[in-house]
Amino acid sequence: MIKVEAIKMGHESPIFQNGATHSIDFRVEYHETDGQGHVHHSKYASFFERGRVEMLRSAGLSYKRLEEAGFMLVVTEINVKYYAPASFDDLLTQTTELTGFRKVRLYHHYRIERDGQLIAEGTTTIACVDRNGQPRRLPSHW
């Protein structure tokens, strides 16, 4: 098991400060679309997760390392607002913003755009729990 102290990232990392953002580009895959040829509404939760994972990775950390250290990050709330459809092979830009940081919770806001047009935006609340599902404080050096 990885010790908490071995997770290197601290407050000096800009992604662990309220208002920190990270952006990624990705293409809509065929299996993400519905019968009308648009991204199925359920896929936006996966898009948001991809943004969080890549935000952590940009700071030199991974979900896998967190889990190995006994920190499980689970979604406790998700909200999505849809503005325009996205279709197969569209190139989308997603910006993930850390909007809040508490003892056992992280709050994110997401924007997904295509060529500057807002496609969808949403929020998540993430709770940190141990392997038994009990609340666990985020590492103090975050």
- Assigned domain for 1 exists: no
Q: Does residue 16 contact residue 98 with C-beta atoms inside 8 Å?
A: yes
- Assigned domain for 91 exists: yes
Q: Could you give the number of structural domains in the chain?
A: 1
Tokens of 118: 């807002």
Q: Does residue 55 contact residue 23 with C-beta atoms inside 8 Å?
A: no
- Assigned domain for 8 exists: no
Residue 117's region, left for phi above 0, alpha for psi from -120 to 50, else beta, is beta
Domain span including residue 75: 13-129
- Assigned domain for 73 exists: yes
Tokens of 99: 């909007």
- Assigned domain for 17 exists: yes
Q: pLDDT tens digits, residue range 93-114?
A: 999 999 998 899 999 999 999 9
3-class DSSP assignment, residue 74: strand
- Assigned domain for 72 exists: yes
CATH code of residue 101? 3.10.129.10
Confidence of residue 1 (pLDDT cuts 50, 70, 90): very low
- Answering whether pTM is above 0.75, one says yes
Q: pLDDT tens digits, residue range 9-66?
A: 444 555 667 788 999 999 999 999 999 999 999 999 999 999 999 999 998 888 898 8
